[in-house]
Amino acid sequence: MVVAEMIYRVLGKTGLKVSVVGYGASPLGAEFGAIDPAEGKRAVDTAIAAGINYFDVAPYYGRTLAEARLGEFLEGKRKSVVLATKCARYDVKGFDFSQKRILASIDESLKRLRTDWVDVFQVHDVEYGTNKQVLDEAIPACQKVVKAGKARFVGITGYPVHNLKRLAEQAEVDTILTYCRYNLLDTAAEEVLVPLAKERKLGLINASPLHMRALTNTGVPEWHPAPARVVEAATKAAAHCKSKGVDIADLAMQFVLANEAFATTLVGMSKVRHVESNVKVVGTKADPTLLAEVMEILEPVMNVCWREGLPENDDPNAVDKRS
């Protein structure tokens, strides 16, 4: 049962008031395995009932399946949510940062999402494009989409935080979304992105607070890119929390939600029980002793990050995936 009161924060200069827990729709596209669509719909309904108003999706998730499902599940509720989607990524290796593709992409997304506009339109995984094309073509194309009234704000998303910072310094964007870079295993976004976001009033969106399931009792999916020692440390930390009667996912959520620099934290949720678990920790504090013990277990792998995208866009300390 959902008990906590939702908390809202302002998403930078967009002025949008967004719930601190945001709904990540990638599991609706079966990115973490097949799901029961009826349960997915119940999860969306439960999220809205619990005060979650930020919904994040992309054409890439389930290769359009997540957008189609979310559009169906939000039917009649569109006006009560802030809806964000993306462009330029369409498959594992399928990227197209051209203006032509982005202008077509928004129309395809709007159709699937059953709406006339999205609130935030983001260039997806910018590290897979050259900075030149992202700056000269992709972001201006998104701005055209805003001028056409099909989106309200423009954002960029990705993994290497230094690349996101470089782009945000040079382009007119409203939001930055980064994933797996602010949680119990990695806090690089705090150091690299928060100062710029404060200075420019950019909305910061923190995705994957559970480090794509590393910080859960279920453990990582087979495709998880983290090096083995990161996964091993996370497994050890989860077992330690369990021995103290705590679900590591709760601790992980308490940790990220306490940082007010991030307007919303997106968790992937296709199950009602996950929505309920993640909402119930809103407004609660992590047990400081347990947090310190977990941090000690994770310390040897803290901020270990992997290569993602074009080599020129890697973070300086990045290592090979699954190394």
Q: Which residues are catalytic?
A: 61
Tell me the residue type at 48.
I
Q: Which H helix or E strand runs over 205?
A: strand 203-207
| Interface with ligand NAD in residues 6-35 (CB under 6 A) | 24-27, 32
Nearest to 14 by CA among 260, 171, 197, 203: 203
User: 46, 53, 157, 163: which one contacts ligand NAD (CB under 6 A)?
Assistant: 157
Contacting residue, 82, 266, 301, 304, with ligand NAD by CB under 6 A? 266
Please report how close the Cβ of residue 209 comes to ligand NAD at its closest, in angstroms: 5
**DSSP of 254-283, one letter per residue?**
HHHHT-TTSSEEEEE--SHHHHHHHHHTTT
* Spatial distance between the Cα atoms of 271 and 265, rounded to a whole number of angstroms: 17
| Least distance CB 275 / ligand NAD (angstroms) | 8
Of residues 122 and 147, the one with the C-beta less far from ligand NAD: 122
Tell me which residues in 158-177 interact with ligand NAD (CB under 6 A).
Answer: 158, 177
By CB under 6 A, name the one of 41, 112, 165, 274 that touches ligand NAD. Answer: 274
Task: Tell me the site size for ligand NAD, rule CB under 6 A.
Answer: 31
Asked if residue 161 lies in contact with residue 181, where contact means CB atoms within 8 angstroms, the answer is yes
Binding flags for ligand NAD, 102-131, as an x/- string (CB under 6 A): ----------------------xx------
3-state secondary structure of 287: coil
For residues 46 and 247, what is the distance between their CA atoms, to the nearest angstrom?
Answer: 21
Contact between 271 and 45 (Cβ < 8 Å): no
Residue 181, interface with ligand NAD (CB under 6 A)? no
**Residue carrying structure tokens 């990050």:** 305
Give the footprint of ligand NAD on this chain (CB under 6 A): 24-27, 32, 56, 124-125, 157-158, 177, 179, 207-213, 216, 218, 249, 266-271, 274, 277-278
